[in-house]
A and B are shown apart, each in its own frame.
Chain A
Amino acid sequence: MKIKYISQAWLVLVLAVSFGGALAGVDEWLQPRIKANKLAATINEIPTLVPHADKAVSERYLPVEVTVGEGKFQTTYEVFWALDKDSNPLGWVIKATGAGFADKIELLIGVDAKCEVITGLSILDQKETPGLGNKIENVGDENQRGFLWQFRKYGHHADEPLAVTTASPKMNEFNKIKAVTGATISSRSVCNIINEALSGQLRTALAEALTDGPTSRPAKKE
């Protein structure tokens, strides 16, 4: 019986292995370039995520790598310095990834230097449902506030978990995020990624890094 199945499915197996190998090769070739693009996009976002940060100064320093959790729950975060023109730390930009509704969501979270306030949020990569979940990328303006507006203007506390609501939060309700209509799971995923990233362990590690000061990037080879 097993032989019958294998004899029927051998083509699928051969194709799966061949295509898998080809994709691995393509990924090996393109991954450094994709990473460089994402790094450039991250650095471009620093002034948006931490107000008054200087992009040119911030990009001169190496990101801090912080590992939190234990065993299989261990996660390593890349945290970028957000510095002013005189290289004084203004805050951090934390690169965090987690499960969304359709695929993984990559976020850039801006926090102040002491990790007390969320100063901004940006979506680096997402593949949520078009027309619904992908509205988590909308910033909007004063008149038509998008999902990201809530993270950039409201100054939510970084040391308290964010919670998603379907109704608009009241003025005195901090850390309440209004979900995108029809995309509560995507909205909740974003908040979960932030809550997980802004754990006590990460904030302690960043406080230590703040004391040590930033490390310059090695000069590029000619």
Chain B
Amino acid sequence: MAQDGPTPLERFINGILPENPIFRQVLGMCPTLAVTNGMKEAMTMAAAVAFVLTCANIVTSLIRSLLKPHLRILVFTLTIATFVTIADRFLAAFMPDMSRALGPYIPLIIVNCVIICRCEVCASKQGVATAACDAIGQSLGFALGLASIAAVREIIGNGSFFGVTILPEWAWPRWGIMLLPPGAFLTLGLLMGLVNHVSDWSSQRKKASANKA
């Protein structure tokens, strides 16, 4: 049977940069702004989202032929909520300090638009392999987005990376604002501008080289 839509490899690659959930789709802004004041928190959130997204996409894809159009959102939410609860309990059991640090943001993955969007756009329409590749690609893209914002904020705001001091206080005065909500907005805006600028520059170069040819 011919497969409709992008192939698994295309889905995987698209998720990382061309359709990056944070910089391109501008989805999942709540955790992006809230948990990026440290790399540890950001990477834990990225791992939790990756687990939920992969499981939800696989389950949705497996049952896609049984989905009724008017009940599909309900089924997506039910599926996502189940895996979010598992992730939440797992963190509370094995990483209690991180669970406390992330607080309500783990349960809030239920309303993370990245996940419900992938269930709707890909998993409910394509096979398991494509859905899984899409989930992994989008998860990597989400992790990349969180990591880039968290790295900037933690290094500038606290002089550390993954909690390890890399800039001593005498060498770098701490910019406390970077660890606060304004720092999250500033970093996100600047990085989004940078990503847009680089992709514009890259497409103009491609056009120019095509014109020459």
Contacts and interface: CB of A to CB of B under 8 A. Distances in A.
Interface of A: 8-9, 11-12, 15-16, 19, 22-23, 26-27, 30, 33-34, 37, 41, 102, 126-131, 134
Contact of B104 (A8, A22, A33, A130): A130
Main secondary structure of the interface of B (DSSP, over half): helix
25 contacts: A8-B68, A8-B71, A9-B71, A11-B67, A11-B68, A11-B71, A12-B74, A12-B78, A15-B75, A15-B78, A19-B82, A23-B86, A26-B86, A26-B90, A30-B93, A33-B93, A34-B92, A34-B93, A37-B93, A37-B96, A127-B103, A128-B104, A130-B105, A130-B108, A134-B103
B34 interface: yes
Choose among A12, A19, A22, A102 the residue with the greatest number of B CB atoms under 10 Å from its CB: A19
Contacts of A8: 68, 71
Nearest to B71: A12
Contacts of A9: 71
Contact of A33 (B86, B94, B107): B94
B57 to A, nearest CB: 15
B166 interface: no
Nearest to A27: B89
A172 to B, nearest CB: 36
B108 to A, nearest CB: 8
Given A15-B79, A34-B93, A130-B34, 5 more contacts: A11-B71, A12-B74, A30-B89, A126-B103, A127-B107
Nearest to A41: B96
B63 interface: yes
Interface residues of B, number: 26
Nearest to A133: B104
B26 to A, nearest CB: 20
B160 interface: no
B85 interface: yes
A102 B78 contact: no
B66 interface: yes
A102 B85 contact: no
A202 B68 CA distance: 54
A19 B80 CA distance: 10
Contact of A11 (B66, B96, B103): B66
A131 B89 CA distance: 23
Contacts of B71: 8-9, 11-12
A144 to B, nearest CB: 13
A128 B105 CA distance: 10
A26 B71 CA distance: 27
